[in-house]
Amino acid sequence: MKKLITLSVMALLVLPMVMAVSTGTGVGVDIETEDFAPLVWMCGARHVFDDATGPGRITGDGEVMWERSNNYAFEGEQIMWKILVMDKNGKEKIEDVFATIGDSQGEGNDIEVNCQREDWAYEKGIEQCNARIGEEEITEFEPETMEAYVCRLTVETPESMYGEYWITVEAVDLDGLSGTMDENEYWFLNPEVALSIEGDISFSEVRPGTSSYSETLLVGNDANDGSGVLLDMFISGTDFYDSSSSGAMCPTTNQLSLDTFSYYATHGAYATGGINWDPRALGPEGYVPINYGVGFNDPNPFYDVNEIMQSGPTDGNYYLANILSPGSEMALTFRLDLPEPCNGDFDTGSIYFWGEAI
């Protein structure tokens, strides 16, 4: 029997190997960072401080002027703001922060004072700043992009600061971009303070031992229009003398005492007599005696002593009826109680009116 032997031959075909290769070209990348204009926020504490040259009824040098309710300020007085500045390009980009005054709101007014960096934000936080970028509210101090400042603007002399100005705080960065705080303020700096007096105090042919009344005198606040200057009003005087050699005597020497004069005053709904009685008034007519004084607060403080009117309500410190706004007036009628005996024409002496801006 034949055996069939079949040989299986396997042929291995070897082909060259081909690998996949990725090729391409470079693509340029252009990243433009925003030139971020500084943002400026006022942070709660903003005060006006008194100066040392003319301390008032309440405040002295360096104290907060709680009595100043209108938009005027005088030489030496100071306005202070706490300020937060942000620059998202980095706080190193903040070049300068300063207070400005000028004729318009916003950027570009005259630089008056540089603000100082202070660490209050590290200690107290920025909750009072209402810091926002659009709808985003910022509640945490960011030391990489923020700086805290205090700005103190002191009012200079009328030669360099007189009239009405917009005042704000501005920040500028190294690229020349600027920002200001939203709260622009409008001030009348160094307004003229003046009194107007209409009428004379004269007494003719007064019989010794009788009382005589003058025509009514108007004393008004004649400060600059638009200044808002409020005046607290005072009165004082001296004795009177006969300037001629007439053998005057009233009643025992050639001197007419200031004590023989008194006045009745009205201002709006208030008067020194009647329902809103001035506690210093003597007698049913409501006439008030006059104290001695030839200078304001000389010889003693005028407060609570020499006001023209102490009628009606107070705010705890000031008699509201005694305050004149610009253009307003008080009406005063004077009474002379001439002694007996009395001889002479007493034409030398003074009654003074004083107005202190509050």
- Per-residue pLDDT at 87: 94
Q: Are residues 227 and 337 in the same domain?
A: yes
Q: Are residues 182 and 229 in the same domain?
A: no
- Per-residue pLDDT at 20: 59
- Per-residue pLDDT at 7: 40
Q: Are residues 226 and 320 in the same domain?
A: yes
168 within some domain: yes
End-to-end CA distance of the chain: 143
In this structure, the strands spanning 261-267 and 329-337 are: antiparallel
Q: What's the gap between Cα 132 and its chain centre? A: 27
Cis peptide before 279 (omega within 30 of 0): no
Q: Are residues 246 and 335 in the same domain?
A: yes
Specify the 3-state DSSP secondary structure of 134.
coil
Report pTM: 0.84
29 within some domain: no
How far apart, in whole angstroms, are the C-alpha atoms of residue 55 and residue 61?
7
What is the pLDDT averaged over residues 152-167? 96
18 within some domain: no
DSSP category for residue 128: G
Q: Give the residue from 250, 244, 222 showing the smallest Cα distance to 329.
A: 222
Q: Are residues 245 and 131 in the same domain?
A: no
287 within some domain: yes
What is the pLDDT averaged over residues 256-266? 97
- Per-residue pLDDT at 19: 56
86 within some domain: yes
What is the pLDDT averaged over residues 137-142? 92
Q: Which of 155, 189, 223 is the last residue of a domain?
A: 189
What is the pLDDT averaged over residues 342-346? 93
The enclosing H or E element of 99 equals strand 94-102
User: Residues in the chain, how many?
Assistant: 358
How far apart, in whole angstroms, are the C-alpha atoms of residue 318 and residue 303?
9
Q: Which of 159, 189, 219 is the last residue of a domain?
A: 189
What is the pLDDT averaged over residues 13-18? 50
Beta pairing partners, 249:
343
Q: Would you report the helix, strand and coil content of the chain in percent, each value rounded to 5?
A: 5, 35, 55
1 within some domain: no
21 within some domain: no
Domain of residue 98: give its range: 39-189
Q: Are residues 167 and 91 in the same domain?
A: yes
Specify the 3-state DSSP secondary structure of 154.
strand
pLDDT at 4 over 60: no
Q: Which of 138, 157, 189 is the last residue of a domain?
A: 189
Query: In the chain, how long is the greatest CA-to-CA distance?
Result: 189
Cis peptide before 251 (omega within 30 of 0): yes
Write down the mean pLDDT value for the chain. Answer: 90
Specify the 3-state DSSP secondary structure of 73.
strand
Q: Are residues 322 and 212 in the same domain?
A: yes
In this structure, the strands spanning 163-173 and 185-189 are: antiparallel
What is the pLDDT averaged over residues 151-175? 96
Q: Are residues 337 and 235 in the same domain?
A: yes
- Per-residue pLDDT at 301: 87
Q: Are residues 261 and 184 in the same domain?
A: no
296 within some domain: yes
The enclosing H or E element of 124 equals helix 120-124
The number of domains in the chain is 2
The enclosing H or E element of 233 equals strand 231-237
